[in-house]
């Protein structure tokens, strides 16, 4: 399927995600060509962009915002470090950004995570805006207020809740996204289908992909992105600081974060989530659910993630035990009674062995 003129599609109305304990909300816009139209009320703007982002997208944002500071951020998970945050904070201070200024994050999910954390930390918090340019960033990382960086001991162990004033999801930026990155980001769309909207599975499962040709250029991609964003927005509105229901958005992420930490973040997040979703499906079936793993196995086959080394549960367990959902009683897993029926479970390590071996054979 060739490129489609997404600008000819009907305009999608913005979403509004409430902030915890406040009357304000994050405005989320999804469409094509948004990047050249973005604006903020603050007159002093720092644009933090992925260093590897095509110059076309950076130029469009610069023309729209006329930023006082333009700071490149190291790409991917390698940029999610305290050292990188310190470098960026120093640059803001040296550039004279005031508390009346704003930070705009432009790039993938890792970049918006870093930019949001910088905004939350600088002068104890300045206004923040996000312009995600990857599928993963649009449907997951940039919406909901979570920001943060990694430590050697694990993923996202340092961070803050700092909602963006606005999130602009310009699906035109997906035109330049490498196919592997697109398939990686599709894992979060697939996750939202498993969690809350089974109809999304029909759009992302391989049987539909081969028939309808889901690509970066599909004319219904903006609506697909919006539908996935709606799932997260609805959950975040009910549980903004992850006291209960928001933890369900971590379906597949307990194992995924362990795989990322074990591989020192060489495994892309979306591919780790693909592996993690299949493990969560198998674990759910071991607890009595049915007909979940065929979906996740088919998705994993289509996603074609980077092969993993031969893993042992003993090797992964220290990273699983440090997962951010863990408490004093141990790690908690997001499982499914069935499609759109998530729940939290605490399972001892000895209950994972057989499932882990099945998962390892499948991948």
Q: Residues within the annotated binding site for NAD(+)?
A: 75-80, 109-113, 133-134, 146, 155, 173-176
Q: In angstroms, rounded to a whole number, what is the distance separating the alpha carbons of residues 314 and 226?
A: 40
Please confirm, yes or no, whether 56 is among the known catalytic residues.
no
Phi, psi at 139, each rounded to 5° = -90, -10
250 is annotated as an active-site residue: yes
Q: Note if 295 is an active site residue.
A: no
Q: Is the dihedral of CA 360, 268, 322, 109 positive or negative?
A: negative
Instruction: Please pick, among 49, 250, 271, 278, the residue that the annotation labels catalytic.
Output: 250
Backbone angles phi and psi of 319, in degrees to 5:
-75, -40
Of 192, 216, 246, 278, which residue is the catalytic one? 246
**Opening angle at CA 272, ends 267 and 277, nearest 5:** 170
358-247-206-337 Cα dihedral, nearest 10 degrees: 60
The verdict on whether 266 is a catalytic residue reads no
Q: Do residues 337 and 193 touch, judged by C-beta distance below 8 A?
A: no
Given 191, 269, 278, 295, the catalytic residue? 269
Per the residue annotation, which of 49, 191, 257, 295 is the catalytic one? Answer: 257
Q: Which residues are annotated as a binding site for Zn(2+)?
A: 188, 253, 269
In the set 124, 310, 328, 361, the catalytic residue is 124
* Active-site choice (192, 253, 278, 295): 253
Q: Is 278 a catalytic residue?
A: no
Asked if 24 is an active-site residue, the reply is: no
**3-state SS, residue 157:** strand
Among candidate residues 197, 232, 265, 295, the one labeled active-site is: 232
* β-bridge mates for residue 151, sequence order: 154
Supply 154's token pair. 């694990």
Q: Return binding residues.
A: 75-80, 109-113, 133-134, 146, 155, 173-176, 188, 253, 269
Q: Is 306 a catalytic residue?
A: no
Among residues 172, 230, 242, 271, the one annotated as catalytic is 242
Distance CA 159, CA 146 (A): 7
DSSP code string of 234-251: HHHHH-TT-SSGGGGGGT
Task: Find out whether 131 and 106 touch, Cβ atoms under 8 Å.
Answer: yes
183 is catalytic: no
Q: Which two tokens stand for residue 239?
A: 């549980």
Helix (H) or strand (E) holding 168: strand 166-170
Confirm whether 325 is a catalytic residue. no
- Burial group, residue 322, by CB count within 10 angstroms (0-12, 13-18, 19+): middle
Burial of 124 (0-12, 13-18, 19+ CB in 10 A): exposed
CB 344 within 8 A of CB 334: yes
Looking at 29, 42, 49, 146, which residue is catalytic? 146
Asked about 260 being catalytic, the answer comes back as no
Of the candidates 362, 326, 328, the one whose C-alpha atom is nearest the C-alpha of residue 345 is 326
**Active-site residue list:** 124, 146, 188, 232, 242, 246, 250, 253, 257, 269
């Amino acid at each position: 399927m060739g490129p489609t003129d997404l600008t000819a599609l009907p305009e999608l109305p913005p979403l509004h995600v409430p902030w915890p304990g406040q009357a304000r909300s994050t405005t989320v816009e999804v469409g094509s060509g948004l990047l050249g139209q973005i604006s903020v009320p603050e007159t002093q703007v720092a644009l933090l962009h992925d260093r590897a982002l095509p110059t076309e997208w950076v130029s469009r944002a610069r023309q729209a915002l006329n930023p006082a500071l333009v700071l490149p951020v190291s790409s991917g998970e390698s940029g999610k470090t305290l050292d990188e945050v310190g470098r960026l904070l120093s640059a803001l201070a040296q550039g004279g950004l005031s508390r009346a200024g704003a930070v705009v994050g432009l790039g993938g999910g890792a970049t918006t995570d870093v930019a949001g954390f910088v905004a939350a930390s600088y002068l104890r918090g300045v206004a923040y805006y996000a312009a995600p340019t990857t599928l993963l960033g649009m449907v997951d990382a940039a919406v909901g207020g979570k920001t943060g960086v990694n430590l050697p001991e694990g993923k996202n162990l340092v961070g803050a809740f700092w909602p963006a004033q606005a999130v602009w999801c310009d699906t035109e930026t997906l035109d330049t996204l490498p196919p592997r990155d697109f398939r990686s980001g599709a894992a979060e769309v697939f996750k939202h289908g498993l969690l809350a909207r089974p109809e999304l599975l029909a759009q992302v499962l391989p049987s539909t992909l081969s028939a309808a040709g889901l690509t970066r250029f599909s004319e219904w991609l903006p609506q697909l992105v919006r539908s996935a964003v709606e799932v997260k927005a609805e959950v975040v509105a009910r549980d903004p600081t992850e006291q209960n229901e928001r933890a369900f958005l971590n379906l597949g992420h307990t194992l995924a974060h362990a795989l990322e930490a074990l591989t020192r973040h060489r495994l892309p997040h979306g591919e780790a989530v693909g592996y993690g979703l299949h493990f969560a499906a198998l674990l759910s079936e071991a607890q009595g659910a049915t007909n979940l793993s065929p979906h996740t196995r088919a998705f994993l086959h289509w996603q074609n993630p980077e092969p993993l080394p031969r893993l042992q549960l003993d090797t992964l367990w220290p990273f699983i035990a440090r997962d951010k959902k863990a408490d004093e009683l141990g790690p908690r897993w997001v499982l499914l009674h069935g499609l759109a029926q998530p729940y939290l479970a605490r399972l001892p390590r000895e209950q994972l062995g057989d499932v882990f071996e099945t998962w390892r054979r499948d991948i």
